[in-house]
Amino acid sequence: MNEKKDFKPFISADKVMPEFTVTSIVLGIILAVVFGAANAYLGLRVGMTVSASIPAAVISMGIIRIIMKKDSILENNMVQTIGSAGESLAAGAIFTLPAIFMWAQEGVCDAPSMITICIISLCGGVLGVLFMIPLRTALIVEEHGVLPYPEGTACAEVLLAGEEGGESSKVVFAGLGIAAVYKFIADGLCLFPSEVNFDIQNTSYTCGIGMDVLPALAGVGYICGPDISSYMFAGGILSYLVLIPAISYFGGDSLSSVLDDAGKAIPFNQLDPGTIWSKYVRYIGAGAVAAGGIISLIKTLPTMIVTFSQAVKGFGKKGGEKRTERDLPLKYILCGVVIIAIVMVLVPSIPVSPVGALFIIIFGFFFATVSSRMVGLVGSSNNPVSGMAIATLIIASALFKMTGLDGTDGMIASIAVGTIICIIAAIAGDTSQDLKTGYIIGATPMRQQIGELIGSVCSAVAIGAVMFLLNAAWGFGSAQIPAPQASLMKMVVEGVMGGTLPWTLIFIGVFIAIAVEVIGIPVLAFAIGLYLPIHLSAPIWVGGLVRWFIESKRKYDSDDQRNASVQKGILYCSGMIAGEGIVGILLALVAVLGLNINMSGIYGDAFMSVGNWVGIAAFIVLICTLIRFARSKNEKS
């Protein structure tokens, strides 16, 4: 507590600097749309997103300080505040809404319109910001020195370092450019395969191994670090090298539920690894993810209760007179919540009743509290938003079914409710990180909160177009965009509403998660690795190994030098993720327009026979560029 009392921001409360300017708003909106689109693509491919605050701050410094020759740390902070909202809103939307598109592909219902997606996303985004505002004093101010808010603190350090120069932005742009070229050559021109795969299939042992040799996956692994990436890869090993062989071996000659082209059942020991994974192991992984999310919530229940009670006590207090203590007035928060509730009930495109709207308000504030506290401890990248969404979907689906709203209408209503609450949790976590950054550097909270609302609104408008583009290009659930989180949400709702889930497999996953938790392994990371294809967790693990190498296998003159190398790698990886995501969106547009830029035919069948090894060689070169940028120019000459 002494640390809180003694704390003084970098910009004092009585100092006035440019902050909420046309430049910061326009640049922030552009970055919100760009990073929202990039993270939508990433999340639909691998089931997770990464924080955009630091890369947005670095790009802002590069443009405002270097190009525009302006010196304003508060403007840079406003840019990252607005810009990072796109990533969070995209995460909430893509984890749930693609389920409705998948039902539309199956002929169960019509696909949601772009307006529907926009309104649902807008409701969740605005509520997420409004719910976080009364938590600011309790979490950001009173808990300063207790809750670290890792991304928010790191972003503040980047902004403070930027006062000495914007060189870091060059690293981000280098990663963005290299990854963009790599992605275009691999998945655009198809000069080498972006997925390498090695299957072993015979009557005695069936398994598979491989990886998607793409820059975003390596970047995710580096940012997550060696521990989390290793836990994910361990889940993939259990999935592909233990469970798939076990199912094939114990199934033997008995007939599976999979039919061949003639309609005959195929014996288990004749199924290829991919089919066993999709038809059986995937459900085990779904049970593990669901259990992992619920376990994570239960473990944080005591801190959630404390935070919730603190927020209620301080909810009616007036904001301070100092610039750095001003929040949006309480009356505006309450009016905003009421207006959003009315919109959810009256707008036909949102299938939510008054009871459903009340459910969203209550659970939304509850999970906003959970999320804001969680990211203060473990960071936004490890925030179990999907676990909160699963818990919400189970409860909402059960309630709707009990009240007679079942079938297709009940499933769509459950996804709508789950989407809004998922976005609330994601945006609340991002807002708390941004407010922590602002608290450290001396920003105006009220202006940041308005910036978050602007970023959320603009991202909500853009996310519908991005989702329609990606779905039109490849279709959700395809190999290009498997939408793993949304597929899981779809199975959960179908299971509760129609009893279609193979509960034996689900409970196997649940008890695997419990066993993992008992032995002290972070269950959610392991469960995600078990649920995702090993082709995704393997390159993520490689990225984590690079982080481990940078941290522990070099001789440094000081800890500051070590941290500089690690931070430079994070900036480079943030650029790689953005670069691949942007090109992924462009390739989706190319596919929708019917253009053919595939040049794989120029190297013929002889080259294809060694295509896997070419892909691995290209990935090694990419990893070398990451190591090179992380290690560059850190020693004093």
**How many angstroms separate the CA atoms of 328 and 330, rounded?**
7
Q: Please report the pLDDT score of residue 102 as a whole number.
A: 92
pTM comes to 0.72
Helix (H, G, I), strand (E, B) or coil at 99: helix
Residues 6+ away with beta carbon under 8 Å from 62: 166, 168, 169, 170, 172, 173
Torsion angle, alpha carbons of 505, 241, 386, 390, to 10: 0
Strand partners, 259: 265
Q: What is the DSSP string of 566-616?
A: HHHHHHHHHHHHHHHHHHHHHHHHHHHTT-----GGGSHHHHHTTHHHHHH
Same domain, 349 and 422: yes
Q: Do 439 and 570 fall within a single domain?
A: no
Q: Give pLDDT, residue 91.
A: 80
Rounded to whole angstroms, what are the CA distances from 269 to 140, 253, 259, 265?
56, 6, 14, 12
Distances (CA, A) of 425 to 257, 284, 303, 402, 459: 38, 26, 16, 26, 16
- Summarize pLDDT for 522-570 with one digit per residue, the tens: 887 788 788 888 888 899 899 999 999 988 866 666 777 788 888 888 8
Q: How many helices (H) and strands (E) does the chain have?
A: 27, 4
* CB neighbourhood size of 589 (10 A): 14
142 and 265 co-located in one domain: no
Q: What is the pLDDT of residue 295?
A: 79
Q: Which residues contact 9 (CB under 8 A, 6 or more apart)?
A: 324, 439, 440, 441, 442
Whether residue 161 is found in the same domain as residue 183: no
Residue with tokens 């939508």: 40
**Single-letter amino acid code for the residue at 33:** V
Whole-angstrom Cα distance, residue 513 to residue 507? 10
d(CA 10, CA 15): 10
Are residues 193 and 66 part of one domain?
no
Q: Are 131 and 424 in contact (CB under 8 A)?
A: yes
Q: What are the structure tokens assigned to 191, written together? A: 């000069």
Instruction: Select from 494, 509, 524 the last residue of a domain.
Output: 494
Residue written as tokens 């007179």? Answer: 321
Residue-level pLDDT at 545: 94
Does the residue 526 lie in any domain?
no
In this prediction, residue 635 carries a pLDDT of 42
Which residues span the domain enclosing 226? Answer: 176-270+534-631
b/e 360-397 (16+ beta carbons within 10 angstroms → b): bbebbbbbbbbbbbbbbebbbbbbbbbbbbbbbbbbbb
Give me the residue label for tokens 């539309």.
104
Domain assignment present for 550: yes
Q: Is 504 inside any structural domain?
A: no
229 & 159 share domain:
no
pLDDT at residue 297, rounded to an integer:
66
63 lies in some domain: yes
Residues 6+ apart with CB under 8 A from 241: 207, 209
Asked if 246 and 340 sit in the same domain, the reply is no
How far, CA to CA in Å, does 620 sit from each of 538, 542, 613, 623? 13, 10, 10, 5
Look at residue 528 and tell me if it is in a domain: no
How crowded is residue 66: how many other Cβ atoms within 10 Å of its Cβ? 15
Domain check: are 190 and 159 in the same one?
no
Amino acid in the structure at residue 126: V
Q: Work out whether the CA dihedral 526, 528, 531, 534 comes out positive or negative.
A: negative
320 and 434 housed in the same domain: yes
Please check whether residues 326 and 391 belong to one and the same domain. yes
Q: Do 238 and 339 belong to one domain?
A: no
Q: Report the distance separating Cα 214 and Cα 571, nearest Å.
A: 17
What is the pLDDT, as a whole number, of residue 557? 66
Helix, strand and coil percent figures for the chain, each rounded to 5: 75, 5, 25
Q: Out of 472, 494, 516, pick the residue that ends a domain.
A: 494
Residues 229 and 342 in one domain: no
Q: What's the number of CA atoms in the CB half-sphere (13 Å) around residue 71? A: 5
**CA separation (Å) from 411 to 163, 282, 405, 420, 582?**
51, 21, 9, 14, 32
Q: Is residue 511 part of a domain?
A: no
User: What is the number of domains present in the chain?
Assistant: 2
State which of 473, 494, 515 marks the end of a domain.
Answer: 494
* 502 occurs within a structural domain: no
CA–CA distance, 569 with 546 (Å, rounded to integer): 9
Asked if residue 503 belongs to a domain, the reply is no
Length of the chain as a residue count: 637
Give the residue ranges of the chain where pLDDT is below 70: 1-6, 46, 48, 50-51, 66, 150, 161-169, 203, 296-297, 300-301, 303-304, 306-321, 374, 377-384, 387, 501, 553-557, 588-589, 591-594, 600-610, 632-637
